[in-house]
Chain A
Amino acid sequence: MIEFLGEVVAWFLDPAHWTGANGIPNRVWEHVQITVAATSVAALLAILPAIVLGHRKQGGTLVVGAVNLFRAVPSFGIVVLALPITIGLGLGIGFWPTFLALLFLAIPPMFINSYTGVAGVDPDLIEAARGVGMTDAQCLLGVEVPAASPIIIAAVRVAAVQVVATATLGAIVGWGGLGRYIIDGFAIQDDVMVFAGALLVAGLALVTEGLMSAVERWLVPKGLQTAGNEVARIAV
């Protein structure tokens, strides 16, 4: 065991593993790129419609149920199923099937939390807002969204970490990222490489969690900060 960990440390200290297309910096960069891309696009696709629907209190169970279906499809399945589609569309292998699978993964928690967050805002707050003369849009943007922000941002945070962990699947369809160490190591039964890859993914997930916590502290209104942590886990 100690010997194995020694080999893992030696793997990280080997300068050859820090250069080139298969080096740690490049693979981490690829991984970060897809995480940022998938999380941002998913946020755009999920949060905006969900906020509007939540504000109007329309759709409700039906929409949430439909979005939950996305979650039922395993990411591995999507990555493989998307392959002939992306090839047929001329988008090739590698990045696009992986990106698609990650969208399917990230959209549900962000959508559901945004919807329930906005729909569940204290009616007294909304009544008060109308009472001081706010329009529909002002109420939504000035009161409802900030009130729901702890829940929404918590979902983005969780989704981002899940995306980091799941992006490793991309290596199966010829993409790069940190999954390469796991898949390639497995093919030649190099346990050290597999373990090193797993450590890197875990490390990146932790860094993502830390960054998103900071974002949460920055974006959520001060008055909601302490309350936010308790209510922040609704649908995730």
Chain B
Amino acid sequence: MLRNRAIVILAVAVALVAAACSSDDGTIEGPTIKVGSANFSESALVAEIYAQALETEGYSVDRKLNIGSREIYKPALESGELDLIPEYIGTMLTNLGGVATSDSTSTHAALQAAWEPMGISVLDFAPAQDKNGIVVTKATANEFGLITTSDLAALNGTLVFGGPPECPSREFCLIGLTDLYGLDFTEFKPLDVGGPITVAALESGEIHVALLFTSSGVILAKDFVLLDDDLGLQPAENLAPAVRTEILDAYGDRFEDVLRAVSVALTTEELIALNKAVEVDGEDPDKVAATWLEGL
């Protein structure tokens, strides 16, 4: 009696382990593509879109979404723990020590050249751009007549700024705001990466100025005001898939074509609508990605 029970338990355990260990089996022979993303909703959504596009074609895909900031996922990509991640060309080029401009084509080319020695290929970029956006509530904008980021300088020493914890160490975040715009905030509050905590803090007045993303669906939905980047701090920030060169070599042109088909269709308007569906309407990112891909 006890022996039978033990055998059943063992069989169930083995079945569970087997189920957990197996990954999606694609019909195309080759290494499983490990798709990763940063820890904010847009990155995870775009990564999901690329992942589903590849799966539909028959590639074997493994997802590792919401990993963390660039300091965490970049080493993972370069060491082979990840194979593909959606990146933003301006910030990534700056991260590698290059100089990013507002020209997408030259910035993209410079990024490709800078990252290639580390075994990473940056494929064709999408028209969609997502830059760091300096945002205030409509009430604040009306009260102080704020239209451009430079307008904030008149309020130096009175405002609280909130954004991702890594903002103080980012050139296109607090460093640039201080150096280029000459802004001086009373306090910087580390919140989340353009997510619900930052939005809640801005709405409640806990912060006066927030860092959100220009393609965020929340800005329009909450009637926030995106201040104009009049001094051109933010460079071109087109989305582009960063892929390990060895995966590209393993799969060839067809793999690149699949990803290009997705990138070409991703405009800033499309991206904002996608973000709105997930961030504002609360829809499931997997379904949002699937529906969008079906419409291509």
Hey, which bits of chain A sit against chain B, CB under 8 A? 21, 83, 87, 90, 92-94, 171, 173-174, 180, 183-184, 186-189
Question: Which B residues are in CB contact (< 8 Å) with A94?
Answer: 206
A187 touching B200, Cβ below 8 Å: no
B169 at the interface (CB under 8 A from A): yes
Q: Which residues of B contact A90 (CB under 8 A)?
A: 204
Query: In the complex, what distance in Å separates the CA atom of A183 from the CA atom of B69?
Result: 12
**Known A174-B189, A180-B190, A186-B68; 11 more pairs at CB < 8 Å:** A83-B196, A83-B197, A87-B200, A87-B204, A93-B197, A174-B191, A174-B201, A183-B165, A187-B71, A187-B166, A188-B166
Q: Classify the interface of chain B: helix, strand, loop or mixed.
A: mixed
Chain B residues positioned under 8 Å from A188 (CB to CB)? 69, 71, 165-166, 169
Q: Which residues of A contact B164 (CB under 8 A)?
A: 187
**B20: CB under 8 A from chain A?**
no
Collect the chain A residues with CB atoms within 8 Å of residue B187's CB: 21
| Chain B residues, Cβ within 8 Å of A184 | 165-166, 190
Query: Which 3 residue pairs of A and B lie closest in terms of their CB atoms, listed nearest first?
Result: A189-B71, A187-B165, A184-B165
Kindly state the separation between the CA atoms of A157 and B190 in the bound complex, as whole angstroms. 32
The answer on a CB contact under 8 Å between A92 and B71 is: no
Smallest distance from the beta carbon of A30 to chain B beta carbons, Å? Answer: 13
Cα–Cα, bound, A188→B170 (Å): 10
Residues of A within 8 A of B189 (CB): 174
Interface size on B, residues (CB 8 A): 20
With A174-B189, A174-B192, A187-B164 as contacts: A93 and B71 at CB distance below 8 Å:
no
Can you name the residue of chain B whose Cβ is closest to the Cβ of A185? B165
- Measured in the bound complex, the distance between the Cα atoms of B204 and A92 in whole Å is 7
B76 to chain A, nearest CB (A): 12
Interface string of B245-270 (1 = CB under 8 A from A): 00000000000000000000000000
Instruction: Write the chain B residue with the least CB distance to A92.
Output: B204
Q: Enumerate 15 A-B pairs (CB-CB under 8 Å) in ascending A order.
A: A87-B200, A87-B204, A92-B200, A93-B201, A93-B206, A171-B190, A173-B197, A174-B189, A174-B191, A174-B206, A187-B69, A187-B71, A187-B164, A187-B165, A187-B166
Q: CA separation between A189 and B187, bound complex, in Å?
A: 22
In this complex, the member of B192, B196, B200 whose beta carbon has the largest number of chain A beta carbons within 10 angstroms is B200
Which B residue's beta carbon lies closest to that of A86? B200
Distance to closest chain A CB from B75 (angstroms): 9
**Structural contact, A189 and B72, CB atoms closer than 8 A:** yes
- Residues 156-175 of B contacting A (Cβ, < 8 Å): 162, 164-166, 169
How near does chain B come to A82, taking the closest CB pair, in angstroms?
A: 12
A65 to chain B, nearest CB (A): 28
Please give, as numbers and ranges, the residues of chain B lying within 8 Å of A187 by CB-CB distance: 68-69, 71, 164-166, 190
Report the separation of the CA atoms of residues A144 and B187 in the bound assembly, to the nearest whole angstrom: 52
Contact partners of A174 in chain B: CB under 8 A: 162, 189-192, 197, 201, 206
Measured between beta carbons, the chain B residues less than 8 angstroms from A21 are: 187
B201 — which chain A residues lie within 8 A by C-beta? Answer: 92-93, 174
Q: In the assembly, what is the distance between CA of A155 and CA of B188, in Å?
A: 38
Complex Cα spacing A187 to B73, Å: 11
Q: Are B204 and A93 in contact (CB under 8 A)?
A: yes
Expressed in whole angstroms, the minimum distance between the Cβ of A151 and any Cβ of chain B is: 40
B204 contacts across to A, CB distance below 8 A: 87, 90, 92-93
Measured between C-beta atoms, what is the minimum distance from B52 to chain A in Å? 27
Structural contact, B190 and A183, CB atoms closer than 8 A: yes
Report how far A92 CA is from B190 CA in the complex, Å.
Answer: 15
Bound complex: CA of A21 vs CA of B185, how far in Å? 12
Q: How far is the CB of B71 from chain A (nearest CB, A)?
A: 4
- Closest CB of chain B to A13's CB: distance in Å? 21
| Distance in angstroms between the alpha carbons of A173 and B190 in the assembled complex | 9
Looking at the assembled complex, report how far the CB atom of A193 sits from the nearest CB atom of chain B, in whole angstroms: 11
Given A174-B192, A187-B166: A92 and B197 interface contact (C-beta under 8 Å): no
Given the complex, which residues of A lie within 8 Å of B72, measured CB to CB?
A: 189
A171 / chain B contacts, CB cutoff of 8 Å: 190
Q: Which residues of B contact A186 (CB under 8 A)?
A: 68
Kindly identify which residue among A92, A180, A183 contacts B206, using a CB–CB cutoff of 8 Å: A92
Q: Which residues of B contact A87 (CB under 8 A)?
A: 200, 204
How distant is the Cα of A93 from the Cα of B169 in the complex, in angstroms? 24
In B176-217, the 8 Å CB interface with A consists of 187, 189-192, 196-197, 200-201, 204, 206
A93 cross-chain contacts in B, Cβ below 8 A: 191, 197, 200-201, 204, 206
Contacts of B206 in A (CB 8 A): 92-94, 174
Would you give the shortest CB distance from A154 to chain B, in whole angstroms? 37
Determine the distance from Cα of A80 to Cα of B208 in the docked complex, in whole angstroms.
23
